[in-house]
Chain A
């Protein structure tokens, strides 16, 4: 049986998300242990990925950053938009951002950092806002809730959340 000693067999060892994204010359299939998310990432030739991320096109007309909430662009394949109304279905939360029309990665489910329009409380559920990449908290059970805030120490801005897809009807 082969063993990896102390995680050092990851191609790039242990790195924060910022340091991981700053790596140059990575090859498809190489690995890194992300210490911010405590998750092994695999480089796909363009992005560092894990099992809850997908690669999509930012079609919002704006630059997006980690934590920004996106909805599906139903007019173009593989594209996403900024939410246009409250209670829309959250397609994903930006993990590695980028400029308009560029490829970015999105968290589809699981732990992530999410952009909050105002200081939330841990345990709050959240929904989209019209014309905003941020979410607002909502504890009364409206359609479109995307999960719960798990760590509110970020105040207005990035906070940890558990993104869980919920049925909407």
Chain B
């Protein structure tokens, strides 16, 4: 039996190269070599099955890769999110993968899968991940996986920064 390689509109590209593409149409595809996912252009942003498209809420600000955000009831925007602290765990939306700046800006967040997550300090592989209690959008790793954790750390880092995490559902009680 012969096999045909999975072809995409733009072939294999890094996340950075994908961001530089122009002239796309809805339904176009690209293989993202950083996360090993085929992504599709929605007509306004690249997304895949792990990502949900949302917008920055009326509070505005800058949302960057790895930050955690949650759904909010925004009087102006639908599918609006804000950067999260621990108290927002029940409305967990996901981890920002393609960020942006300013109210109403479309972004995508990862609600499952393996993606970079921003930690406010060093973290250790196999630890559980929870939201920071003090800093919006940052995350903590807290030893063995337990109630309130939304993912598992996959790589150790010695200082604050982004580390790969297997993101799953969040348990909040």
Q: Does B33 contact A (CB under 8 A)?
A: no
Question: Chain A contact residues: over half helix, strand or loop, or mixed?
Answer: loop
The interface residues of chain B lying within 8 Å CB-to-CB of A2 are 4-5, 7
The interface residues of chain A lying within 8 Å CB-to-CB of B73 are 121-124, 152
User: What residue of chain A has the Cβ atom nearest to residue B44's Cβ?
Assistant: A38
Question: Chain B contact residues: over half helix, strand or loop, or mixed?
Answer: loop
A7–B27 touching, CB < 8 Å: yes
User: What residue of chain B has the Cβ atom nearest to residue A159's Cβ?
Assistant: B78
Interchain nearest-CB distance for B94 vs A (Å): 8
The interface residues of chain A lying within 8 Å CB-to-CB of B27 are 6-7, 10, 13-14, 33, 35
- With A and B bound together, what is the CA distance between A150 and B169 in angstroms? 16
User: What residue of chain B has the Cβ atom nearest to residue A164's Cβ?
Assistant: B169
Q: Does B111 contact A (CB under 8 A)?
A: yes
The interface residues of chain A lying within 8 Å CB-to-CB of B47 are 38
Given contacts A1-B7, A167-B169, whether A7 and B28 have CB atoms under 8 Å apart is yes
A3–B52 touching, CB < 8 Å: no
B40–A4 touching, CB < 8 Å: no
The interface residues of chain A lying within 8 Å CB-to-CB of B4 are 2
User: What residue of chain B has the Cβ atom nearest to residue A37's Cβ?
Assistant: B42
- With A and B bound together, what is the CA distance between A4 and B38 in angstroms? 13
A141–B26 touching, CB < 8 Å: no
- With A and B bound together, what is the CA distance between A50 and B169 in angstroms? 20
User: What residue of chain B has the Cβ atom nearest to residue A149's Cβ?
Assistant: B71
Given contacts A6-B25, A33-B40, A110-B111, whether A148 and B7 have CB atoms under 8 Å apart is no
Q: Contact flags (1/0) for A30-67 with B, using CB distance below 8 Å? A: 00010100111000000000111000000000000000
For the complex of A and B, the 5 pairs showing the least CB-CB separation, nearest first, are A7-B27, A2-B7, A151-B78, A33-B27, A121-B73
B binding-site residues for A, Cβ under 8 Å = 4-5, 7-11, 25-29, 40, 42-43, 47, 49, 52-54, 70-74, 78-80, 90-93, 111-112, 169-173
CB-defined A-B contacts under 8 Å, sample of 19? A3-B11, A4-B28, A6-B27, A7-B9, A7-B28, A33-B40, A38-B40, A38-B47, A39-B49, A40-B29, A51-B49, A109-B112, A110-B111, A150-B79, A151-B79, A162-B111, A165-B169, A166-B169, A166-B172
